[in-house]
């Protein structure tokens, strides 16, 4: 893909990722996160990983964030907008984030693989949906099933917790 | 002209052609058709003042929308209030990008982007359509739009599941998510609404008919719910919520919501046509490789099928009463969700035991 597209979408992701934290309005934060996810999906698609990119939009931007918005709208979060910035927390967060960035840069600069451009995940001709399916249900069938059971347990747990009175 | 320039040029031509020459006029005339058909059903005349049989009514409506004062109430959240109508219109039109609307014309395939995750792309973009309605309802900062926005969120999330599950039997059968492959399969083996039509003596086709009909029914009904059409138009139920999520909107911003709904209807119909009704194929009409006139006829056939489905949408609206909200939710979660799941198992079992 043209490099400028990478910089464009990476820039979009970073700006809107920062806006998630900076915005005082929770709805604005949630919507910034949606745009951030769209940028991430665009990056996946530019690596020819269509399936992962589209699933990113479908699951995170289309379903999870809609539920987030739904919950945020039901709560009254006016107090959040009026809150002053806590400078101690701001400095602490900045130090942690900055040291993490330095750490990642240090690791990347030492590994050999990070110095070359990453090859596209799949060429145009490869059917990545089929490949992911074969991998998930072939090589990683047991972990996949275990994750499915864990998610099922979580779902049942949520329903049990949200039911006020149990019979 | 080198291939890249040619590709960019033809793609731009297709985008402009399909959006501005076909979809947008179709949207405005869908409004006209809605008023005419409803008049027919209710034994009225409908619009008949502007032009012959009222045919220029959409143009007059558009002029009215443009010339009206664009009023922004003082209590709204300005930025999101402006953003919402755009978000309602854009996803509805973006979905068309992966739909094959014709065979080939002068050797150029008549699909804007033939990607290998076609139907997932459709679902992903369609699921973004809810933001326009939710943000519109929230930014209006008054109670009826807000209730409309909340209703629409839960309704769209609920029916998205049935929508996604309903199409799985199709892809179990075809083994490919690419929409052009779906159309080619239907050309060779008969439309998926009549899977036995390709080869009458093959028992597989007859066995698959029932799961395909169930898929079609669930999918079509879920499209009604996703596009907020009656009998599922709870987000904008006039008798309960004034105008629903667009109560506070006027002039062109209201028009964008209104036309977004019709654009969503058209793209929903386009997906139904592509998945179940053979796309641009019609028995006896060859594809575009036999001459450009057939290429044009293929495109015409595709949009004619959409027009028929739009008529059904309108017909249903003026025939069925609105559901109650708890009925809507129960229908989605307890009935369609389960029937779509059972349908998948059934189709998978048939395909396992009667492999071609």
Q: What is the 3-state secondary structure (H, E, C) of A87-137?
A: HHHHHHHHHHHHHHHHHHHHHHHHCCHHHCCCCCCCCCCCCHHHHHHHHHH
Give a yes or no: residue B159 inside a domain.
Answer: yes
Q: What residues make up the domain containing B287?
A: 69-353
> B319 CA to chain A: closest CA distance, Å?
32
Give a yes or no: residue B105 inside a domain.
Answer: yes
Specify whether the CB–CB gap between A49 and A124 falls below 8 A: no
Is A28 in the same domain as A95?
yes
Q: Does A67 touch chain B (CB under 8 A)?
A: yes
Counted domains in chain A: 2
Residue B355: pLDDT over 70: no
Helix axes B203-226, B337-353, angle to 10 degrees: 160
Is A60 in the same domain as A24?
yes
* B131 neighbourhood in chain A, CB within 8 Å: 31, 34, 66, 69
Best of B83, B114, B120 to mutate (most A CBs within 10 Å, chain A) = B120
- A23-54 tens-digit pLDDT: 878 888 888 998 999 899 988 888 777 888 88
Is A111 in the same domain as A164?
no
* B312 CB neighbour count, 10 Å cutoff: 13
> A69 CA to chain B: closest CA distance, Å?
9
Is A108 in the same domain as A142?
no
Give a yes or no: residue B307 inside a domain.
Answer: yes
- B143-199 tens-digit pLDDT: 888 888 888 888 888 888 888 888 888 888 888 788 888 888 888 877 877 777 777
Best of B113, B127, B148 to mutate (most A CBs within 10 Å, chain A) = B127
* A50 neighbourhood in chain B, CB within 8 Å: 115-117
Instruction: Give the CATH number of the domain where residue A64 resides.
Output: 1.20.120.1200
* A55 neighbourhood in chain B, CB within 8 Å: 120, 124
Q: Which of A32-41, A154-163, B240-249, B296-305 has the lowest mean pLDDT?
A: B240-249
Counted domains in chain B: 1
DSSP class of residue A85? Answer: P
The yes/no answer to whether this complex scores an ipTM above 0.95 is no
Ordered DSSP codes for B255-324? HHHHHHHHHHHHHHHHHHHHHHS-TT--TT---GGG-HHHHHHHHHHHHHHHHHHHHHHHHHHTTSPPPP
Q: What residues make up the domain containing A151?
A: 127-167
* B160 neighbourhood in chain A, CB within 8 Å: 62-63
**The predicted structure's pLDDT at residue A95:** 93
CA-based nearest residue to B189, from B117, B278, B116, B269:
B278
Is A100 in the same domain as A159?
no
Beta bridge mates, B105: B108
- Give this prediction's pTM: 0.84
Is A132 in the same domain as A92?
no
- Band of residue B24 on the pLDDT scale cut at 50, 70, 90: confident
Q: What angle do CA A36, A42, A46 make, to 5 degrees?
A: 150
Residue with token string 């990683």: A140
* B286 alpha-carbon distance from chain centroid: 26
Cβ-based burial of B236 (10 A; exposed 0-12, middle 13-18, buried ≥19)? buried
- B317-353 tens-digit pLDDT: 888 888 888 888 888 888 888 898 999 998 888 888 8
> B292 CA to chain A: closest CA distance, Å?
29
Share of chain B above pLDDT 70, in %: 97
Q: What angle do CA B214, B95, A137 make, to 5 degrees?
A: 60
Is A105 in the same domain as A144?
no
Give a yes or no: residue B310 inside a domain.
Answer: yes
Beta bridge mates, B104: B109
Q: Does A108 touch chain B (CB under 8 A)?
A: no
Cβ-based interface (< 8 Å): residues of B facing A? 80, 115-117, 120-121, 123-125, 127-128, 130-131, 134-135, 138, 146, 149-150, 153-154, 156-157, 160, 176-177
Work out whether strand B104-105 and strand B108-109 pair parallel, antiparallel, or are unpaired. Answer: antiparallel
Is A98 in the same domain as A140?
no
Is A65 in the same domain as A97?
yes
Q: Does A54 touch chain B (CB under 8 A)?
A: yes
Beta bridge mates, B108: B105
Is A157 in the same domain as A109?
no
Q: Does A31 touch chain B (CB under 8 A)?
A: yes
């Amino acid at each position: 893909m043209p490099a400028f597209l990478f910089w464009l979408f990476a820039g979009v992701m970073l700006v809107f990722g920062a806006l998630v934290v900076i915005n005082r309005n929770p709805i604005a934060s949630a919507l910034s996160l949606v745009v951030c996810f769209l940028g991430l999906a665009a990056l996946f698609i530019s690596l020819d990983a269509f399936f992962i990119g589209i699933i990113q939009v479908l699951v995170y931007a289309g379903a999870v964030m809609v539920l987030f918005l739904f919950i945020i709208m039901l709560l009254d979060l006016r107090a959040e907008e009026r809150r002053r910035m806590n400078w101690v927390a701001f400095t602490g967060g900045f130090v942690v984030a900055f040291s993490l960035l330095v750490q990642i840069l240090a690791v990347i600069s030492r590994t050999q693989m990070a110095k070359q451009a990453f090859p596209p995940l799949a060429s145009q001709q490869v059917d990545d949906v089929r490949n992911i399916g074969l991998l998930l249900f072939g090589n990683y069938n047991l972990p996949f099933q275990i994750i499915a059971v864990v998610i099922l347990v979580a779902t049942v747990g949520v329903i049990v917790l949200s039911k006020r009175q149990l019979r | 002209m080198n291939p890249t320039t040619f590709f960019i040029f033809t793609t731009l031509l297709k985008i402009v052609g399909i959006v501005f020459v076909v979809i947008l006029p179709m949207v405005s005339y869908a409004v006209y058709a809605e008023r005419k058909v409803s008049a027919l059903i209710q034994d009225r005349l409908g619009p008949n003042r502007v032009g012959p049989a009222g045919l220029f009514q959409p143009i007059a409506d558009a002029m009215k929308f443009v010339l009206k004062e664009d009023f922004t109430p003082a209590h709204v959240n300005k930025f999101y209030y402006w953003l919402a109508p755009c978000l309602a219109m854009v996803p509805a039109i973006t979905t068309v990008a992966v739909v094959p609307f014709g065979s080939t014309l002068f050797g150029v395939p008549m699909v804007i982007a033939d990607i290998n995750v076609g139907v997932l792309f459709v679902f992903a973009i369609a699921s973004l359509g809810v933001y326009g309605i939710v943000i519109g309802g929230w930014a209006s900062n008054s109670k009826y739009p807000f209730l409309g926005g909340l209703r629409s969120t839960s309704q769209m999330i609920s029916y998205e599941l049935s929508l996604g599950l309903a199409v799985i039997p199709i892809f179990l059968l075809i083994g490919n998510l690419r929409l052009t492959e779906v159309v080619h399969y239907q050309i060779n083996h008969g439309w998926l609404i009549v899977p036995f039509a390709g080869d009458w003596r093959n028992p597989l086709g007859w066995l698959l008919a029932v799961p395909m009909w169930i898929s079609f029914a669930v999918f079509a009904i879920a499209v009604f719910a996703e596009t907020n059409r009656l009998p599922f138009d709870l987000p904008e139920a006039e008798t309960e919520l004034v105008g629903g999520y667009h109560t506070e909107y006027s002039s062109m911003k209201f028009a964008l919501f209104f036309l977004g709904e019709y654009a969503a209807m058209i793209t929903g119909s386009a997906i139904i046509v592509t998945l179940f009704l053979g796309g641009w194929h019609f028995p006896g009409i060859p594809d575009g490789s036999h001459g450009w006139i057939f290429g044009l006829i293929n495109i015409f056939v595709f949009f004619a099928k959409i027009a028929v489905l739009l008529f059904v949408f309108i017909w249903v609206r003026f025939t069925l009463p609105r559901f109650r909200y708890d009925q809507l939710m129960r229908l989605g979660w307890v009935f369609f969700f389960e029937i779509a799941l059972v349908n998948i198992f059934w189709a998978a079992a048939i395909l396992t035991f009667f492999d071609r």
